[in-house]
Amino acid sequence: MIPGPFSYRKAASLEEAIALLQQYGGEAKVLSGGQSLIPMMKFRLAEPAVIVDINRIPGLDAIEERNGILAIGGLVREVALERSPLIRQRYPIIADTAEVVADPLVRNLATIGGNLAHGDPANDHPATMLALRAEVVARGPGGERVIPIDDFFVDTFTTALAPDEILTEIRIPAPPPRSGGAYMKFERKVGDYAVAAAAAFLVLDEAGKIARAGIGLTNVYYKPIRAEAAENALVGQVPSDGLFRTAAELAAQATDPTTDLRGPAEYKRAVARTMTLRALKAALSRAQVA
């Protein structure tokens, strides 16, 4: 578990980091928390020639609400999300998610930007961001662009980011009244990636019907997915156990998991259903008090 040879560059600014990425082309990799990249290098699954460390770049670690959105800097660590009063009070679904990522040692370093940019369907934040209809802000040689989350995850370990682009911010619409979300993950042990996990976000109208629904799923498809049919089944309906079961079943049908040590595909699909059901119930009870 010793990485191959590489050289290390520490960028002081976004401009410098982008210039370095341009200079080395596909040979270079951005280093954030390093909790996905470094293990892959140690197993020699990734052998980048150059590491561009962006940890010293100022201004990428803020969590703030402005103009009806929540903006989370790309370098915000999991531990900061877990502890942020703003996140805990207004966005408990994000706190749910951060808390079940890996273990405390990893969470002290791992960043939300890296969690999305890695493009790993096993990572937890993508599902939540899909359920919340987030946007990803990227900076590259040509300036800044905003990518809707639905366009962000392209393939396993592949996102819409170009090799010389840096994820700088994640934007999430501020929660409307009567909304609530929850993330439910089933893992074999703490620190494990999900057998299956589900993020659910619900907005109720004044009559108590579901006005908007978001459901994202973790580790049950070749990339993070949104369970669109399940969402559609919920909208316009009065929440009930039966309705949630139908939606959970639709979510399970949207999955295409692989059989591995976490269990057979059929099992993972069943767990996706259970997690969706439980996430919907938790989201509803939060929406009803919000």
Ligand X SMILES: Cc1cc2nc3c(=O)[nH]c(=O)nc-3n(C[C@H](O)[C@H](O)[C@H](O)COP(=O)(O)OP(=O)(O)OC[C@H]3O[C@@H](n4cnc5c(N)ncnc54)[C@H](O)[C@@H]3O)c2cc1C
- Note the residues at the interface with ligand X (CB under 6 A): 29-37, 39, 74, 101-102, 106, 110-111, 113-115, 117-118, 123-125, 161, 166-167, 191, 193
Decide which of ligand X, other proteins, none touches 188; Cβ closer than 5 to 8 Å per partner kind: other proteins
Q: Please, which residue, 188 or 209, has the CB nearer to other proteins?
A: 188
Report which DSSP code applies to 27: G
3-class SS of residue 231: helix
Report which DSSP code applies to 49: S
Return the range that interacts with other proteins (CB under 8 A); candidates 172-180, 197-205, 233-241, 263-271. 263-271
Please state the length of the chain: 290
Angle 193-34-201 from CA coordinates, rounded to 5°? 45
Minimum CB separation of residue 107 from ligand X in Å reads 7
Place of tokens 């592949």: 158
Q: Please, which residue, 29 or 286, has the CB nearer to ligand X?
A: 29
Say if residues 132 and 172 touch (Cβ distance below 8 Å): yes
Decide which of other proteins, ligand X, none touches 4; Cβ closer than 5 to 8 Å per partner kind: other proteins
Contact status: 188 vs other proteins (CB under 8 A): yes
Please list, residue by residue across 256-281, b when 16 or more beta carbons sit within 10 angstroms of its beta carbon and e when fewer do.
Answer: ebeeeebbeeeebbbbbbebbbbbbb
Residue nearest to ligand X (CB): 114
Contact with other proteins (CB under 8 A) among 49, 263, 281, 290: 263
Contact status: 103 vs other proteins (CB under 8 A): yes
Give the total of residues touching other proteins (CB under 8 A): 25
Contact status: 228 vs other proteins (CB under 8 A): no
Distance CA 241, CA 246 (A): 9
Residues ≥6 apart with Cβ < 8 Å to 39: none
Give the torsion sign (CA, 220, 114, 78, 134): negative
Contact status: 278 vs other proteins (CB under 8 A): yes
Contact with other proteins (CB under 8 A) among 8, 58, 68, 190: 190
Contact status: 147 vs other proteins (CB under 8 A): no
Tokens of residue 274, six digits:
């259970």
Amino acid at 81: L
Return the range that interacts with other proteins (CB under 8 A); candidates 1-9, 74-82, 227-235, 282-290. 1-9
Tokens of residue 35, six digits:
């909790």
Tokens of residue 145, six digits:
């662009």
**Where do contacts with other proteins occur on this chain (CB under 8 A)?**
1-2, 4-5, 43-44, 103, 186, 188-193, 195, 261-264, 267, 270-271, 274, 277-278
